[in-house]
Structure 1
């Protein structure tokens, strides 16, 4: 593969990452590493192998980071739910150092119930898309249960719409 063709591929990958958001970071970094390696080694097979490895490692790192950000939101909401009585409504907000996966909305405790293993509460929570007065608001339901002295997120299915499979 010629250097000019590799540079064109790199430019396309970077443009795609810019337009696609976080899900394209792995592809762009893999393409960049593959093109650079292919140019240095003059062996396209080595470049492709390095590109695939870098993409996989980058995708894994991004997924782990997003998992931590989602867990922060879930822990903040669950802790708030644990302090609230049934019928109460309170605002929630999470702000991270990097402005990724910040969130805010409202939490309403719907009911409390006991299982054989823990005290639990069912709640509804909203997620506001932005800071504007007319921002879109989505509502979800979930459960939180007391685990030792803390309240933790206890349901997966309602969160799938909000956070995908990264629970």
Structure 2
């Protein structure tokens, strides 16, 4: 029992210090140690640990993708309302304070395709709320889809957005 308590406290401390990326590993380690201790079979513990880690990583990735989609939908909605050359601030605040974002969006080009109307734009992402917070700029496209505007670009493969391509 002491071993389990020690492992749980170590895993909890490491998860708190490293953030969301370690949640899957931490939960897998806890499940593996607990299962191995209960069944007295390390192979079962390892299998359960790997399964729990995979499921947890997938759940976290799915949640983060939905947070990014919220930001993209908000920016695309603003772009659809803006004329060429216009600039406007954007902001997304989630119930949980994870992946909140804000910045500025500027429409740089408006064009029509055979299927729909589209706009290219530049948008900034401010890293924090302090006046001197770092600002990164990106470019993307949004197109009309039915009655609303949707993000039409593959996500940038940068640390800010993760590797969701």
Q: TM-score range by the shorter chain?
A: over 0.9
1: CA distance, partners of 2:105 / 2:124: 7
Structure number with the higher helix fraction is 1
Contact 1:10 1:35 in 2 (8 A): no
What is the CA-CA distance between 1:120 and the residue it aligns to? 0.5
Structure 1 alignment gaps of length 5 or more: none
Gaps of 5+ in 2: none
Instruction: Please report the RMSD computed on the Cα atoms of aligned residues, expressed in angstroms.
Output: 1.6
Normalised to the residue count of structure 2, the TM-score between the two structures is 0.92
Aligned counterpart in structure 2 of residue 152 of structure 1, from 150, 157, 162: 150
Question: For 2:129 and 2:114, how far apart are their aligned partners in 1?
Answer: 41
C-alpha displacement of 1:10: 4.2
User: Is residue 17 of structure 1 aligned with residue 39 of structure 2?
Assistant: no
Aligned to 1:30: 28
Match of 1:71 in 2: 69
Instruction: Output aligned runs, 1:74-85, within 5 Å.
Output: 74-85=72-83
C-alpha displacement of 1:12: 3.8
Kindly state the Cα deviation for residue 16 of structure 1 after the two structures are TM-superposed: 2.6
Counterpart-to-counterpart distance in 1, 2:12 and 2:95: 25
**Partner SS for 2:153:** coil
How does the TM-score come out when normalised to structure 1? 0.91
Counterpart-to-counterpart distance in 2, 1:98 and 1:56: 23
Q: How many residues align?
A: 164
Q: How big is the shift at 1:34?
A: 0.7
**Distance change >3 Å, CA 165–CA 116, structure 1 → 2:** farther
